[in-house]
Structure 1
Amino acid sequence: MPTSTANTNKRNEIIEVASKLFYEQGYHRTGVQQIIEGAGAAKGTFYAHFKSKEELGVIWLRTRHTKWNTSLVEFLKDKDVASEKILAVFDFLGKWMKDCDFRGCAFLNTLAETPDPNNPLRNEIAGHKQKLLELFQRLIAEHQTKLPKDKCQNLAASVFLLFEGTLVEMQNFRDTWPLEAAKSQLARML
């Protein structure tokens, strides 16, 4: 196997191990040594690929963002109408939460661990949430074609906040009742 392929594979393996550990036990509770051991890498190999744990954390969040959004797009592909898509985003949340045993959002979990607003992890978290808000803005604009732009933006922000609150409370209660309540409210909003 060529050296560059081996290096890429080891880098990807480190990211994969770190992703699992960061999500399951938390970003700050996971140490670099634990990642190194889990990936079967040497310390030098880790630092050849990543300047720091923080850099790896940023890459993890970017990877997570791509994975989550790719899964969401796939989930929505059979929906033709904007209102169906909006409701389906909430259905996707329910599926995602059940699949992860109500572990919650990697971004919000990391946010809770990262109080420094200037930390690069916070930029990734804000970027991920901004993209979700923009998705709701597009879908609401498609659904409410006669509504003025500012009212569409306001409604989209309300849907986004309903989604985020549902996510947090599903994790908190480890149950789907917050999703059912949110979808009922969402149907009235639409």
Structure 2
Amino acid sequence: MLDQDMAREQVLEAAEGLFYARGIQAVGMDAVRNASGVSLKRLYQLFPSKEALVLEFLKQRDSRWRRALADHVDEGASPDERILSVFDWLYKWFSEPDYRGCAFINSFGELGAVSADVAEQARHHKKAFRDYLAGLVTAAGRPVELAEHLALLAEGAITTAAISGTPEPAHQARDAARLLMRAPVQNATAGSIRTR
């Protein structure tokens, strides 16, 4: 018999694959049971409701996604290269054969209006991503508002790649990010413009 941690891991792995591939509302607990090999009784002991399972799936996905991104970005040699490598990582992610867009955007679209907790998980993930970009921008000595522009480029690329079925939006967003990084910066205190 599976111990609790192993059973939980199997359920979450099965749920992640099913929810991401088919959508949350299309997947019932029976499908998760069948894919995980964990009995329905045990499944409900681990996750008392489908919403509890969805929230745990989103928390786990958030952690894995952000860790994979940071691991890739940390390989960049300079602060500017680390900013641009975000878009290289997106290209790699978009190229995966099972890429279906952002699990958080998808879950928000499906359940955000009826589940405050799912909506909050999606907001948390997007804020954490923007905060991560802000850290990269600050480390590069660039104005913090650049992070918001980069976040919009990345989010647009994520959605466009899912709809178009090609990873190319990541390269297009990277090119746009590079142009933004080359643009003159207004020095608010002196009222002068300087270029990088």
TM-score by length of 2: 0.86
Q: How far apart are 1:117 and its partner, in Å?
A: 6.5
Q: How far apart are 1:176 and its partner, in Å?
A: 2.8
Q: Distance in 1 between matches of 2:114 and 2:146?
A: 27
- Indicate whether 1:21 and 2:18 are aligned: yes
Which amino acid in structure 2 is aligned with residue 166 of structure 1?
Answer: A
Could you tell me which of 99, 106, 109 is aligned with 1:112?
A: 109
Q: Distance in 1 between matches of 2:33 and 2:130?
A: 36
Q: How far apart are 1:27 and its partner, in Å?
A: 0.8
From the two aligned structures, give the one with the greater helix fraction. Answer: 1
Could you tell me which of 21, 30, 33 is aligned with 2:30?
A: 33
- Indicate whether 1:52 and 2:49 are aligned: yes
Q: Equivalent residues in 2 for 1:6-155 (5 A)?
A: 6-116=3-113, 118-145=115-142, 152-155=143-146
* SS, match of residue 91 in structure 1: helix
Can you list the C-alpha shifts for 1:63-86, whole angstroms capped at 9, x where unaligned? Answer: 111111121122122213221111
Q: How far apart are 1:118 and its partner, in Å?
A: 4.8
Q: Which moved more, 1:78-87 or 1:47-56?
A: 78-87
The residue number in structure 1 matching 2:157 is 166
Between the two structures, name the one with larger relative contact order (CA 8 Å, sep ≥ 6). 1
Q: Distance in 2 between matches of 1:45 and 1:54?
A: 16
The residue number in structure 1 matching 2:171 is 180
Q: Distance in 2 between matches of 1:6 and 1:125?
A: 31
Q: Tell me if the contact between 2:84 and 2:177 (Cα under 8 Å) persists in the aligned partners.
A: yes
Q: How far apart are 1:177 and its partner, in Å?
A: 2.9
| Identity value in percent | 26
Q: Which moved more, 1:171-180 or 1:48-57?
A: 171-180
Distance verdict in 2 for CA 1:162–1:108, change over 3 Å: same
The residue number in structure 1 matching 2:180 is 189
Q: Which runs of 5+ in 2 are unaligned?
A: 182-196
Q: Which runs of 5+ in 1 are unaligned?
A: 146-151
* SS, match of residue 3 in structure 2: helix
Question: How many pairs were matched up?
Answer: 181
Q: Distance in 1 between matches of 2:4 and 2:133?
A: 39
Which amino acid in structure 2 is aligned with residue 87 of structure 1?
Answer: L
Q: Distance in 2 between matches of 1:42 and 1:57?
A: 18
